Amino acid sequence: MKKYRDLSPSPRTIMTPGPVEADPRVLRAMSFPILGQFDPEFTGLMNETMEMLRELFQTTNRWAYPIDGTSRSGIEAVLTSLIEPGDRVFVPIFGRFGHLLVEIAERCGAMVSTLEQEWGKVFDQEQVIRHIGANRPHIVAMVHGETSTGCMQPLADIGKACREMDVLFVVDAVATIGGVPVEPDEWCIDAVIGGTQKCLSIPSGMAPISYNQRAEAKVLKRKKIERGLRPAHHPESSQTQIRGIQSNYFDLSQLQDYWSADRLNHHTEATSMLYALREGVRIVLEEGLEARFARHRAQEAALVAGIQAMGMTLYGDPTCKLPVVTCVMIPPGVDGESVRAMLLDDFGIEIASSFGPLKGKIWRIGTMGYSCRKKNVLHILGALEAVLARHGARVHTGQAVQAALDSYGRSRYE
């Protein structure tokens, strides 16, 4: 038999837009023994997790629970449950993840319309609102923090307009939850999807979601159709077949029954991931949302000060910069992939490349969750400067780390 080596992943400094370093407390939580999914001790943990997620999402929504799967499973569960085939869905796109919303909505049978913003910018909310008014979609789906471009879209006005026009508003807050303010109730978001492996510093594998009564009403309407309330011989019966929620795994009506006091059996809850989620969100709430957002801002400021002190240029409109992802233009003549490889091999640091039109043009540096620490920011600045010098890039040397230290000043951030 072939002998495989013991697993021993290298310790890394992960400065990407996800997955980021998991908090050691989260990793410890994952090693605890399994409990049965209907064991009262476990259902107690499930209930507590829902309560904690409501705090994380700053919402009074009844429903806040995780979908088992990566972040896109949360997006897919929400869209699959809300979109009836033929529904008009409007997706304003300002980066890669907008296209993901389109793809999923199309698979759900939606008639999708889009508006595209040049990458590196976000939408003027009025422009989006005018489009909604003119086209009256059933659902508007939008990304909050675009990790592909490092931009963050203001949402409050769009949300209020959707509410007034009775349009459901779905938001992908995968990259922002736990790192910058996300306020579904204030911004009139009907369904919101978060991610674990970004600012929550939990491994990938769950997607916390929350939705309000308006979204639930649509889900329950589709549930009634699905459960055959219309007789089989009814002329519309062939239609009723497809109008129900087409997925079992992603059926929010079944999932909320499973998470409710009824505990109607659905899937087997991912025990160790639930431990991880509970611990990860507990850490966020212990730190306090405001303090956590301020920490992310302070680390971002230090990173940006260091990058600029090297004479490098940031990518994207600074007025809509996503605080947890900093996009940097690759200096002329420098092979971006070679720099990333050297950072990884010699310094154990990972930063991200980019997609589509930005491929080879920018690096993306994440400052998310547990990875968002002074030690990491100083480490990446020192390492990047050294690696760029090795690559013959014309950058100012000797100033990046100093500029970051100045930025921290006497702040207490670690």
Ligand X SMILES: *Cc1c(COP(=O)(O)O)cnc(C)c1O
Annotated binding site: 364
Q: Is 175 in the site for ligand X (CB under 6 A)?
A: yes
Q: Are strands 168-172 and 139-143 parallel, antiparallel or unpaired?
A: parallel
Tokens of 191: 């369904």
When binding is defined by CB under 6 A, the residue of 129, 158, 174, 309 that contacts ligand X is 174
Segment interacting with ligand X (CB under 6 A) among 139-147, 269-277, 329-337, 394-402 = 139-147
The smaller minimum CB distance to ligand X, of residues 142 and 387, is found at 142
Q: Which is nearer to ligand X, 18 or 159 (CB)?
A: 18
Binding mask 4-23 for ligand X (x = CB under 6 A): -------------xx-----
Of 76-84, 169-177, 178-186, 393-401, the window that binds ligand X (rule: CB under 6 A) is 169-177
Residues 387, 342 contacting (CB under 8 angstroms): yes
Residues flagged as binding site for substrate: 364
Sequence-ordered list of residues with C-beta below 8 angstroms from that of 249, at least 6 positions apart, any chain: 77, 267
Q: Are 89 and 114 in contact (CB under 8 A)?
A: no
Half-sphere exposure of residue 249: CA atoms within 13 angstroms, side-chain side: 9
Q: Does 71 bind ligand X (CB under 6 A)?
A: yes
Q: Which two tokens stand for residue 193?
A: 């999807």
| Nearer residue to ligand X within complex by CB, 103 or 345 | 103
DSSP output for 229-264 = -S-TTSTTHHHHHHHS---STT-HHHHHHHHSTT--
364 binds ligand X (CB under 6 A): no
Task: Decide: is 204 part of the binding site for ligand X (CB under 6 A).
Answer: yes
C-alpha distance from residue 79 to each of 51, 102, 146 (Å) = 23, 10, 19
Nearer to ligand X, 18 or 331 (CB): 18
Question: What's the closest the beta carbon of residue 92 comes to ligand X, in angstroms?
Answer: 14
Binding of ligand X by 195 (CB under 6 A)? yes
SS3 of residue 362 by DSSP: strand
Pattern 88-107, binding to ligand X, x per CB under 6 A?
---------x----------
Axis-axis angle for helices 71-82, 96-107 (nearest 10): 40
CB of 220 to ligand X, least distance (A): 27
Q: Which residues bind ligand X (CB under 6 A)?
A: 17-18, 70-72, 97, 143, 145, 147, 172, 174-175, 195, 204
